[in-house]
Amino acid sequence: MRNQLMGMLEARKEEMIQIRRYLHEHPELSFKEEKTAQYIADFYKGKDVEVKRNVGNGNGLIVTIQGGKPGKTIALRADFDALPIAEETDVPFKSKNEGIMHACGHDAHTAYLLVLADCLIQLKSSLAGTINIIHQHAEEAPPGGAKSIVESDVLDDVDHIFGIHIFPTHPAGFVGYHSGFSLAGRSFFKLGIQGVGGHGSSPHLANDAIVAASYFVTAVQTVISRRLNPFDHGVITIGSFDGKGTFNVIKDRVELEGDVRYMTVETQQLLANEIHRIVKGIEAEFDVQCDLSYIADYPPLYNDPEVTSDVVASLKSMDDPDIQEVGEYPMLSGSEDFAYYLEKIPGCFFFIGCKPKGVENAYFNHHPKFDIDEECLLVAAKSVGQVVCSYYGLE
């Protein structure tokens, strides 16, 4: 079956590319992917599978492929939302939806998984178990789609879960892995600082919110430099400082927004505690009132070491010209809501190279000029197909 599956995928490589290009032309934002969800549902029409729609808190779909014999249940996931980015590439299938772009590769994720799923449907009589295909909405926008899908209990019977992400750090043909904590968790905060406004000539009669907010910006960086273990990883970024006013008027209120990244649950809690502590100190030192909204968006992504080891062994055993290298990938400070699945279900989330040919320094995901080598679609399909075959002992 393994050779049969790989041959089927090779024969449908062009179909994957065409699906990816169609999706790239018609991107939709998180929680608004109605037409994309319909496109996915239409793909499965007439096929011998169960399709659940509107799973979780949006447009998610779960397609159940029931094997010919009883056995374990696995899940394969691909996301399908796009980003609020104006595309700047010159590809002929450029986005037709102004200000929206598939700048993270979710079009490629969906394209490869649709074709792989269809091939597995055709071969399902040889499967001793069940495969759930998760077409997930809203990966890009918190609270994301994964958390709600997990909380809906539709995956309670899943034994293991697998997913991939394309990155242009390596050429097509490269498959990367990392065991244990692999991608950062992310929190988001908004801080309002309320002081007393006044005239620039009489600061003693006012209480300057900008000064207090500036101290917060400086102080919060000491959490990373002086509170975090040097062997741990964390980042705090102030991305918005809204203090615009008039040059000779002391602002009474400033609002800030920040991004927090961490690699472990313990670091997540430490950074949250320290930021709250600093806010209390700012209130006391500057006699201002602070309102802090602190939200943990996505947890750190943890690849089960045993499952990852099995995935790596399987991929390295492939004698396939399309899979040219299987190598260890560094931890990434980006975040992924696939982490919610891995909190509940042991699994592995690995990486597929997609650097365009002839490019030395490719534009990274989320850039308006992000582009891929579409050879990565077949690499993704074969890699995940190989993992499925190995999991079920199919030769």
**Residue indicated by tokens 């030395």:** 360
State how far the Cα of 108 lies from the Cα of 145, in Å rounded to an integer.
Answer: 18
Residues 35/94, Cβ–Cβ less than 8 Å: no
Contacts of residue 7, defined as CB under 8 A and 6 or more positions apart, other chains included, come to: none
Contacts of residue 129, defined as CB under 8 A and 6 or more positions apart, other chains included, come to: 67, 69, 70, 71, 72, 73, 74, 392
Residues 19/119, Cβ–Cβ less than 8 Å: no
Residues 375/321, Cβ–Cβ less than 8 Å: no
> Tokens standing for 81?
């939302």
**Residue indicated by tokens 């809690």:** 269
Choosing from 28, 33, 139, 140, the catalytic residue is 139
Choosing from 28, 79, 81, 371, the catalytic residue is 81
Terminus-to-terminus CA distance in the chain, angstroms? 6
Active site residue 81: yes
State how far the Cα of 264 lies from the Cα of 278, in Å rounded to an integer.
Answer: 21
Active site residue 287: no
> Tokens standing for 124?
């399902």
Contacts of residue 11, defined as CB under 8 A and 6 or more positions apart, other chains included, come to: none
Residue positions annotated with a catalytic role:
81, 139
